[in-house]
Every structure is written in structure tokens, then in C-alpha cells.
């Protein structure tokens, strides 16, 4: 039987990389996109291939429509099918108050985290919808528990961009439910990845872990587990759901 194909944006590191490796072990062919870190992306590809499934890494900024179109074109050319999209690529910025935020910062935050996810979802729907001749599929958006908490004094812009992604999840889920596509989101809490250092807070997980009811940060694999469930037939009747994975930090 032909294997199913998943496209994971931002699959070179962190939650995306953990999802790619886990998907391969569960029999999926895997396409990952990345922005800058080719070596990290190639290491994920090598791990996926070791697990015995096919893998491809494509450089594409999710906030750039032409690059996203080229990414989906590569999936079409090399795999000829798409069964799941994980909208995982995302960025934070330095901790700032709203009073300090520049328009450039706001535009980047929404372009990558929100508009990028919309463009990828659009391209996935065009391929997977039974109305467009596809065979159905699943979209999993990687949001954040910040959309519940608001992230005051740190990155309200990021929280708001993820809040928009939550609403897209609800609306698109209903829009395409009768077209064979399920759309869900995970909302991770404090997860041990490089994203905190990229926002200038390398010690963020360690510092804030005592505030988490479970008293620890989470691992990327603990988020990947939920993403894999939402991609799989095991969640057949689940759509429009926002699954919080935050050790009780709500
Ligand atoms: P990470 O370790 O910083 O990895 C980010 C990934 O996204 C990398 O693969 C990076 O590619 C890619 N990426 C960044 N900007 C991109 C762009 N414009 N176009 C394409 N790819 C891009 O982050 P993470 O912690 O795994 O986060 C993954 C998702 O989880 C994000 O959406 C994040 O908001 C969300 N999340 C994370 C946490 C957490 O505590 N870690 C909590 C809640 C939500 P390169 O390797 O090429 O740079």
C-alpha cells in the first residue's frame, strides 16, 4: 500500500523535527521545510530515511507566498500526494511590552505565524479536498498556550498571532469538514526547544518551570505525540479542536 505523506513546516528543529521523526516511525513519508538551517534539516531527513520511509527537505519561508508555492510544487513532483499538513513553523521575538513594539516586528510576527499558516492551509486544502478531487486529509496547526494566557510583558503580538490561528482552526474545520479534511490545533506550553534562545531568553524554560502545575517544561516529543494522533485515523471524529499540551498551565 502507498504510504501517506505529511508536510511539516519548520521541520528542521524542535517540535517539527520531533514530529517528523515520530511520523517516520509510524510509517509516514515526510516532507519538511526549513528556513536557514540546512544541516539540521538534512539530519532529520537522514533519520527519517533510517526509519525506512521517504523524506525530503525544502527551504521555504512560510511567510513568502512564492516560496510556499514552490514547496507544495516539490511535494507534488516528488510524492504526488498529500495526506496531512502540520503548520508548525513559528517565531517569537524579544520580550517587549506592546508600548514598545514596532510595526516591522508586528508584521513579521503575523506574516510568519498567521499568514504563513493560512497560505499553507490553502494549498493543502486545494490538494486534499474531495471537492477538488483529493482524497481528504488532516491539518494540524501548532498554536500556543500563549493564545489563552496573552503573554503580557513578553510577546502579546505572538499570543495574538496564535489566537488568530486558533480561530482559523475553528472556521476552516467547519468549512472543509464535508470535504474530507479535519483541522485541529495543539497549544503547547513551555517546551524545551531553541525558540526561547531565539527570543533572547535561553533560560526561559528553567526559570518558568516552577510556575507550571506539573513543575517542569515539556519535551518536543510530548507535543509530537498529540500531533501524530490528530494526523492519524485514530482521531477520525475530531475536528475544530484545540488541544492544550502545557502541563496544566492554562
Ligand atoms: P524552534 O525550535 O525555534 O524551531 C523553529 C522551526 O521553524 C525551525 O525548523 C525553523 O527553521 C522554522 N522556521 C522559523 N521561521 C520560519 C519561516 N519563516 N519559514 C519556514 N520555517 C521557519 O521552535 P519550536 O519551539 O519547535 O516551535 C515550533 C512551533 O511550536 C512554533 O509555531 C512555536 O510558536 C510553537 N510553540 C512552541 C513552544 C515552545 O515552548 N517551544 C510553545 C508554544 C508553541 P530553521 O531551522 O531553518 O531556522
What confidence tens digit (pLDDT) does each residue in 186-223 have? 999 999 999 999 999 999 999 999 999 999 999 999 99
Q: What is the rounded CA–CA span in Å between residue 157 and residue 100?
A: 11
- What is the sign of the dihedral through the CA atoms of 223, 191, 24 and 178? positive
The answer, yes or no, to whether residue 1 has pLDDT greater than 80, is no
Residue 162 is predicted with a pLDDT of 98
**CATH no. of 3-243:** 3.40.50.720
Mean predicted confidence (pLDDT) in 137-154: 98
Q: Is 63 in the pocket of ligand 1 (CB under 6 A)?
A: yes
Task: Look at residue 243 and tell me whether its pLDDT is greater than 90.
Answer: yes
Give me the catalytic one of 34, 155, 158, 237. Answer: 158
pLDDT in tens, 94-135: 999 999 999 999 999 999 999 999 999 999 999 999 999 999
Q: Which residues contact 152 (CB under 8 A, 6 or more apart)?
A: none
Q: Residue 194 CA: which ligand 1 atom is closest?
A: 2
Residue 225 and residue 45 in contact, taking contact as beta carbons nearer than 8 Å: no
Indicate which residue's Cα is closest to atom 31 of ligand 1: 90
Question: CA–CA separation, 74 vs 196, rounded Å?
Answer: 31
The reply to whether the predicted model has a pTM over 0.95 is yes
pLDDT band at 142 (very low <50, low <70, confident <90, very high): very high
Amino acid at each position: 500500500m502507498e504510504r501517506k505523506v505529511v508536510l511539516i513546516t519548520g521541520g528542521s528543529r524542535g517540535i517539527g523535527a520531533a514530529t517528523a521523526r515520530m511520523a517516520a516511525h509510524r510509517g509516514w513519508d515526510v516532507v519538511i521545510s526549513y528556513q536557514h538551517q540546512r544541516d539540521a534539516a538534512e539530519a532529520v531527513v537522514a533519520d527519517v530515511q533510517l526509519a525506512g520511509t521517504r523524506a525530503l527537505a525544502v527551504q521555504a519561508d512560510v511567510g513568502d507566498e512564492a516560496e510556499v508555492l514552490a514547496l507544495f510544487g516539490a511535494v507534488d513532483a516528488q510524492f504526488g500526494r498529500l495526506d496531512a499538513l502540520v503548520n508548525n513553523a513559528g517565531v517569537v521575538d524579544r520580550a517587549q511590552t506592546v508600548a514598545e513594539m514596532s510595526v516591522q516586528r508586528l508584521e513579521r510576527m503575523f506574516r510568519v505565524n498567521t499568514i504563513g499558516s493560512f497560505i499553507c492551509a490553502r494549498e493543502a486544502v486545494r490538494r486534499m479536498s474531495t471537492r477538488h478531487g483529493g482524497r481528504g486529509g488532516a491539518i494540524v496547526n501548532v498554536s500556543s498556550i500563549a493564545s489563552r494566557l496573552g503573554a503580557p510583558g513578553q510577546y502579546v503580538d505572538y499570543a495574538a498571532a496564535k489566537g488568530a490561528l486558533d480561530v482559523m482552526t475553528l472556521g476552516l474545520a467547519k468549512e472543509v469538514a464535508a470535504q474530507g479534511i479535519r483541522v485541529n490545533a495543539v497549544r503547547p506550553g513551555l517546551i524545551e526547544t531553541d525558540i526561547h534562545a531565539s527570543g533572547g531568553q535561553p533560560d526561559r524554560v528553567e526559570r518558568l518551570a516552577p510556575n507550571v502545575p506539573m513543575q517542569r517544561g515539556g519535551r518536543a516529543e510530548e507535543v509530537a505525540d498529540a500531533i501524530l494522533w490528530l494526523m492519524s485515523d485514530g482521531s477520525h471524529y475530531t475536528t475544530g479542536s484545540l488541544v492544550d499540551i502545557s502541563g496544566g498551565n492554562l
